[in-house]
Structure 1
Amino acid sequence: MATISAALAVSRLRIPFSYPLPFKREARVAFKCRAGPSPEVESGATERSSLLGISTSYLSAGLASLGFFETTYLTYLKLTNSEAFCPVGGGSCGDVLNSDYSSVFGIPLPLPGMVAYGLVALLALQQSGKSLLPGLDKTDVRLTLLATTTSMATASAYFVYLLSTEFAGTSCSYCLLSAFLSFSLFFLTVKDFGLEEIRKVVGLQLAVAGIIIIALTNSYTTAAPQSSGLSDITLEPYEAEITKESSPFAISLAKHLQSIGAKMYGAFWCSHCNEQKEMFGGEAAKILNYVECFPNGAGKGRTMALECAIAKLEGFPTWVINDKVLSGEQELSALAEASGFVPESSQPS
């Protein structure tokens, strides 16, 4: 009975609020709430968006920037008709970069590559939190990035196939670097999506890949050949000798054509081009604005000059006079009429 009374008395004791409780701090720690996912969830998210401790977005932006600089350099070489520095592969590297396959629908191949790499770099930075492309939400950025890298990987696979078949035994360090970058960007993008999400958009990837293959194949199959009989041989450039002496009329006409910006497009191996020059004679022919469309030679591994490719010539020689296009060898009188040339002897005194 005494024990029960003592217990009741203890239970009625009032402990002051300031009394130090030995379990007070531990209780706060034990019942502390955390807002947000658990540490396990956070670490899992980090693993999905990083590779070797580096954010996949920043890694993609870095690789795309490297590809952008490479294709910018190659675009500059194409537009200036300069030779590329080939640390590996030597002359064979230049043969690949200057071949018929270095342009698509008349556009230098490095140019669309430069645009694609630049777009991927911007999209990757946008995905990392940078606001570089306003108006695009997260879903738009991811789908655009997937479509772009899929097209780049498909094109690279196509060109690697051409390199191994059409240029067997040659080496092109720029081509292989671009292929490595394209494939790497594609796999990084697929990794960010994950297997489950990729299954939902595989139709988009197949459609993009199909369009790229059809476009490239159509571009190369519809491209006009340089000349019959030159597909399997190589001709080095040479200058045909002009033996005819120029008449005063031919010299005056050549000066007139030169003054109005008329151009004659030709090829060193074209007999009709040489006959056209022979009509003018040696002195007058040197005055003409003549554009050699194969300054580096003709045949396998050689390509048409960019200016001629843009002009979309159908044969040689081709005259462009005051926005008029005259195909084939022309009489001097026809050139005079087309250019509005009036001989001095015909002019009123």
Structure 2
Amino acid sequence: MMTSISSLLATPGTPNPFAPPASRFPAVTTFFKWRTAAPVLLSSKFRCWSAPPPAPPPAPGDSENATVGEELSSSTEGISAYSWCAGLGGLGFVETCYLSFLKLTDSKAFCPVGGGGCGDVLDSDYAVVFGIPLPLYGMIAYGFVALLGLQLSGKRIFPGLSEADIRLTLLGCTTTMATASAYFLYILSTKLSGALCPYCLFSAVLCFSLFFITVKDFGFQEIQKFVGIQLAITGIVVAALSNSYSTAQSQLLGPGEVDLLPFETEITTKSTPFAISLAKHLHSIGARMYGAFWCSHCNEQKQMFGQEAMKIVDYVECFPDGVGKGRKMDKACVDVRIEGFPTWVIKDQVLSGEQELSDLAQASGFVMDKSLPS
């Protein structure tokens, strides 16, 4: 051991007085040399840290690439949400363009379901707001939302507006549309009960989807800042629609400027055996049809039954004295709380709008004879 220590302390070129002769311990000398070299090699190859080693400094341009990558990731998510808004807004724009064309040209809508529900809803008083057809409002709203979505997706459509202003405008539009859709669904289920309108339901799905996409894009923390604005928009929309419909109903029930004497429309169709059997069944259970002489849908319902069957159906004319100042709706119709014409009261059911004979048979429990032509 002394030999190894002395050999380490020896300086080059100075003879070591403690070193043994080389010829006496050749193997031992070699062993100590190998043992003394190992610690030097290990100490130069490994390091012992009391804490995790520091990260190497970033290379020039790495920080810029990381920042660009984060911005690209966030912008990709934003583009995805706004692209959905643009796409859904485009679908709504196409649908409302079609409905606006039908409303302005007084054409019949293609209805994928039976019962004439599409025409009943589109031709009702609730399809007009402040004298303007409702689909026109929808066409403008959907088109505007589609343009805002394209702008936020990178298209320069509104160059003078900042991204924050456009996002807030989009939130206001979708809030307005979702509130209006909820109100219209309430009208559809309460005032137009029995009428099924696929166009209305599809539009409601689009509006609610646009609203939820916009709210999700803002995030929970940010959307809390605009809850007051959304509640104000909701109140304004509900108040405006309620005022429009209440004004229209008051004009309908109190037409002081209209003076129309009652008249009878001629029924030109022949009754089928099925229609006659159904009319007898409706009469036997006390079912009644409430209508108005000026109502085109009432006339179409009569033509559907035919001459012979309509003599059996219990029909109640709601304006027997005509329409005008001082003339009121018949008390029997007021008691039923007529919302539109025609209205069927079958047992405890109230069916608004023109009905197919098969629907009346099902509602009244009439068992159809397969041998009878419908």
Range class of TM-score, shorter chain: 0.5 to 0.7
What displacement does 1:83 show?
1.0
Is it true that 1:234 corresponds to 2:260 in the alignment? no
Matches for 1:1-349 after TM superposition, within 5 Å: 1-2=11-12, 31=59, 33-34=61-62, 35-37=64-66, 41=70, 45=74, 48-49=77-78, 55-223=80-248, 224-227=250-253, 233-235=290-292, 236-237=295-296, 271=322
Distance (whole Å) between structure 2 residues aligned to residue 123 and residue 178 of structure 1: 19
CA deviation profile, 1:70-92 (whole Å, cap 9, x unmatched):
00111111111111111124401
CA deviation profile, 1:237-266 (whole Å, cap 9, x unmatched):
46xxxxxxxxxxxxxxxxxxxxxxxxxxxx
CA deviation profile, 1:91-124 (whole Å, cap 9, x unmatched):
0121011111000011100001100000000001
Question: What is the percentage of aligned positions where both structures have the same residue?
Answer: 53
What displacement does 1:41 show?
4.2
What displacement does 1:272 show?
7.3
SS in 2 for 1:133: coil
CA RMSD after TM alignment:
3.3
Task: Flag the 1:94–1:183 CA change in 2: closer, same or farther, 3 A.
Answer: same
Alignment-mate amino acid for residue 233 of structure 1: Y
- How many residues are treated as equivalent by the alignment? 221
Is the CA contact (8 Å cut-off) linking 1:89 and 1:170 kept in structure 2?
Answer: no
SS in 2 for 1:67: helix
TM-score, length basis structure 2: 0.53
What displacement does 1:160 show?
0.8
Correspondence for 2:372? none
Alignment-mate amino acid for residue 208 of structure 1: I
CA deviation profile, 1:252-295 (whole Å, cap 9, x unmatched):
xxxxxxxxxxxxxxxx988479xxxxxxxxxxxxxxxxxxxxxx
TM-score, length basis structure 1: 0.56
Gaps of 5+ in 2: 1-10, 14-55, 256-288, 300-318, 325-339, 344-351, 354-374
What displacement does 1:202 show?
1.0
Task: Flag the 1:84–1:33 CA change in 2: closer, same or farther, 3 A.
Answer: same
Distance (whole Å) between structure 2 residues aligned to residue 37 and residue 175 of structure 1: 47
Distance (whole Å) between structure 2 residues aligned to residue 272 and residue 156 of structure 1: 33
What displacement does 1:225 show?
4.4
SS in 2 for 1:87: coil
Is the CA contact (8 Å cut-off) linking 1:120 and 1:145 kept in structure 2?
Answer: yes
In terms of Rg, which structure is larger?
2
Task: Flag the 1:200–1:165 CA change in 2: closer, same or farther, 3 A.
Answer: same
Is the CA contact (8 Å cut-off) linking 1:89 and 1:172 kept in structure 2?
Answer: no
Task: Flag the 1:298–1:75 CA change in 2: closer, same or farther, 3 A.
Answer: same
Task: Flag the 1:191–1:47 CA change in 2: closer, same or farther, 3 A.
Answer: farther
Gaps of 5+ in 1: 4-27, 239-267, 274-296, 303-349
Alignment-mate amino acid for residue 168 of structure 2: L
